[in-house]
Every structure is written in structure tokens, then in C-alpha cells.
Copies of this chain bind each other. A is one copy, B any other.
Amino acid sequence: MRYAVLGTGIVGRTVAAKLTSLGHEVVIGTRRPEATLARTEPDFLGNPPFVTWHADHPAVPLRTFAEAAAFGETVVNTTAGAAALDALASAGSPNLAGKVLIDIANPLDFSAGMPPSLSPVSTDSLGEQIQRAFPETKVVKTLNTMPCRIMIEPGRVAGAHDVFVSGEDTDAKKHVTELLLSFGWPEGAIVDLGGIDTARGTEMLFPLGWSLMGALGHGDFNYRVQGAR
């Protein structure tokens, strides 16, 4: 299948590489490809620049948001949450209409430093904002509750642990569930929370994860919902 991965950060790179390894055709989207490729310094979180990754994955084209979205049959949003609506507007409604949009972004607000807060939060979510802005697109929120290395390799956390799915469209959620299965998620670990408004709860898991990272001293953890299902 043809995938557009919007965003050139660590999450986008990791998901794009996984999709490629599974035989999908992938194009990565960014605002200005030349600018992204021109950056040679690590970002403010210390991640290496995109070019470093791209040198190892030369078969994955980097295009504008609009070009990538036009190419993809399914679109994956991995942009920084605060910039996601702008990025998707730049991708263009016609290039997103009728498609499944997998939203992995969290609406992190770094304006007051670390740790980031969430905006929107509690009475709204980024997932809902995107669904409202692109009513012809089938938004499915998933995978946003864990580091990207676990998204595409759930086996690196021992024991059963879960991934949540939120969205309005049943077929879109089925499509995403199949993708998650292909990523290595067991069927029993995929929890359909309901409509896109349930993205509030998964986005709001971020602060607990931040605290746990400090308490445990690492980020290789994930959550299991214990109880009858």
C-alpha cells in the first residue's frame, strides 16, 4: 500500500522505516524539503538531523506535505502536535479526503519549557480537532501512548501491553488494526476505545509517561489494562 508519513522527526522516521520494511511504498512529507535536508544539527531534543537518517533510507522520498499526501492511500500524522493542523492544511483537504489518517501526534506545548503541557486538553483533543477540520477524512488516533521504538516493536517490552485505537469510522479502525497486527501487536492487545473523542484520554496519558520515565529511569515501558475484556 502507498503511505504518506507527514513529519520528519523520530516518530516519522521510525514508522516510515517500518512501513518500508513491510513492503509498503512510503513518501515522507515535510513543509520545505530543501530546508529539512539542509539541517545538519540535532534538534532541541538531541535527535540527529533528518539527513542522517535519510542517508540510510535513500529509497524513501522526501516531498512537500501536499505531494506526500497526494501520493498516500493512507496518511500518517507524526508532526509535532502544535504544528499538526497547519501541516495538514498545507497537505490539503482534497489530498486527505476519503482517506484514513492515522494520527500519532500528541498536542505537546513546549512554550513554558519542560515538561511540556498539553493543548488542547480535557475538553478537546488534537484527534478531534483534526477530525473536525477534515470531515471527509477518517481520523484514527493510535500509538500515541508510547515511544516510537515500541510502536513498531512491541516485543521489546516484556509481558502483555496494550495499544489504543480511537475513531469514528469502523472500516478505518479495521484497517489500522490490520496495520498494528503487521507491526507485531497481538490482536488481544489492540483496544478499541470508541469514537475520536476518546483520543482525549490517550493524549492525556503523556504526563504519566513523563513521570514514569523519571521514576523508572528508562522509557521502555507500556501500559496493560488488567481486567475482563
Contact = CB atoms under 8 A, between A and B. Distances in A.
Contacts of A221: 225-229
Given A212-B193, A223-B224, A227-B158, A207 B218 contact: no
**Copies of this chain, tallied across the complex:** 2
A216 B122 CA distance: 21
Interface string A113-150: 00001110111000000000000000000000000000
Contacts of A202: 208
Interface residues of A, number: 44
A161 interface: yes
B222 A223 contact: no
Interface in A155-212: 157-161, 164, 166, 191-194, 198, 200-202, 204-205, 207-212
A198 B212 CA distance: 9
Contact of A215 (B121, B191, B200, B224): B191
A148 to B, nearest CB: 15
Contact of A229 (B194, B207, B208, B216): B216
Contacts of A160: 226
